[in-house]
Chain A
């Protein structure tokens, strides 16, 4: 099954508007622990780049390095060609970010939290606090203290802080955390709209289905290493096809197909055949099964979705095959 990228901005890795994020051979070590290992990433203006990885893979460390919160042990991170450091204040005026779980001053209201960020960002008093409150669906909670917010609304407040100054670059760590399904769609549409308007978006996530719908490019990070980068449009080319077979007697069908030289694996209520021959000629598989007295009830050629691709990529690395 291929992944739809309808509605996504169509800029490639070397987009016409130039490189916004450049991560060059970045390594971060904490004593003997290598959190990020020689990572290279380049993100062009208008792209939605998604960093995929399991918990502890190094996503947040990389994001903190993008934001100057953690200093690389080796390598360099730059935004718009300017090396990232705590002293590069001009760069931070152009970046909106959300790192890990959203935080807010609990005794301040939603509006006060946003006003505080606006002041620290040197925005005028006419800063679009109300606009961002409406945009993130926080109007009802504007006067509520942040400590009373649900996780989903706290996440919306975190996103509102990131969007408040209309930055050309958004760096978002797990932006869909805590949101209900409607909220996930809403934020996805919001980010897609921003990217279409030219905002560059760098997100980290472990919600694969969401990434597949959102990102134009995906980087898979595992044990600190960026093990794969691909355009989501090219996922179909990377994702392996297989033949899905349903039959009333799975055990017999498995034996028959193995004797015929295929490599079936049980997959829920059916069998999956990764063999090229099976994908190329499903009719031959059907003929074998019919001849053996266990005819197929359903045959489908399917491509891996992002989840399967990700797990295969990561699993292969863990198995020493990467």
Chain B
């Protein structure tokens, strides 16, 4: 397993994608900070041209709990999209670059190759989440947000990580889609389909039972109006991940690799 992880890390390090994902979450954290800055004093923001004269701000509080909530929601949304792109790239590039054939008849098993890919993408996503948290601490401190307590910060970290884990579990579907679709396109289609369905089903009030809505509902992105996610919802997320990883391994083993 160590060799396969080393190989995946080397491939990732030499690509631009790690930097692009770091940039994406840096910008998202910064935008969250900007939102806090505006909320702190809307009149100051209007005077600085950051807010339209007639813009009305609703919801959100310019304090640490509010900022942490915003960051958690960023991870929920980013998890569906940016984490998804990471997994799609990790699997899809082998087909787009036609390198998959070099991974199929090796002393390293196909199961190990797939496991290494999922492991590295999970670590990558959790590292981005950690980055978001740490950068958020710096931005919040710079803004002198009120309401800081160690308990609030610890709870926020746990909430943020739990949201990321839920998102990481769900994007395993995209590894399967990129494998079966033998490239990026089908998996990108699946990603947008799940994001769309997650929105629609959450609006209909069944999001707590639809796995792809669970991270957003857990992060309270739509407020507290939605039914809370219960054991069934979490179990479904885990089931989706287990089924996706298993199906990916089975597919790598049994499909005819003609590409």
Contacts and interface: CB of A to CB of B under 8 A. Distances in A.
A187 B30 CA distance: 56
A131 B6 CA distance: 23
B99 interface: yes
A64 B11 contact: no
A67 B4 CA distance: 20
A61 B254 CA distance: 16
**Interface size, B (range):** 20 to 34
Given A103-B99, A105-B11, A112-B14, A87 B253 contact: yes
Contacts of A122: 3, 107-108
Q: How large is the interface on A (under 10, 10 to 19, 20 to 34, 35 or more residues)?
A: 20 to 34
A295 interface: no
A68 interface: yes
Given A64-B258, A87-B253, A103 B102 contact: yes
Interface in A79-112: 86-87, 89-90, 92-93, 95, 97, 99-101, 103-108, 112
A106 B15 CA distance: 9
A83 B254 CA distance: 15
B119 interface: no
Given A71-B254, A105-B14, A119-B3, A89 B101 contact: no
A86 B7 contact: no
Interface in B82-121: 97-99, 101-110
Interface in A51-95: 61, 64, 67-71, 86-87, 89-90, 92-93, 95
Contacts of B102: 103, 117, 161
B111 to A, nearest CB: 9
A251 interface: no
A238 to B, nearest CB: 33
Interface string B232-259: 0000000000000000000011101110
A17 interface: no
B9 to A, nearest CB: 11
A135 interface: no
A270 B206 CA distance: 84
Contacts of B11: 105, 107-108, 116
A120 interface: yes
B6 A119 contact: yes
A92 B101 contact: no
B10 interface: yes
B14 A67 contact: no
B98 A101 contact: yes
Contact of A70 (B98, B108, B257): B257
Contact of A69 (B10, B98, B99, B101): B101
Contact of B106 (A30, A104, A121): A121
A67 B10 CA distance: 26
Given A69-B256, A105-B14, A108-B11, A86 B98 contact: no
Interface of B: 3-4, 6-7, 10-11, 14-15, 97-99, 101-110, 252-254, 256-258
Interface of A: 30, 61, 64, 67-71, 86-87, 89-90, 92-93, 95, 97, 99-101, 103-108, 112, 115-117, 119-122, 161
| Top 10 closest pairs, chain A to chain B, by CB | A103-B98, A69-B257, A119-B3, A107-B14, A93-B107, A67-B105, A92-B105, A70-B256, A120-B108, A103-B99
Given A86-B104, A120-B103, 15 more contacts: A71-B256, A86-B253, A89-B106, A89-B108, A103-B99, A105-B11, A105-B97, A107-B11, A107-B14, A108-B11, A116-B7, A119-B3, A119-B6, A120-B3, A121-B108
6 contacts: A69-B101, A86-B252, A86-B254, A87-B253, A103-B99, A120-B107
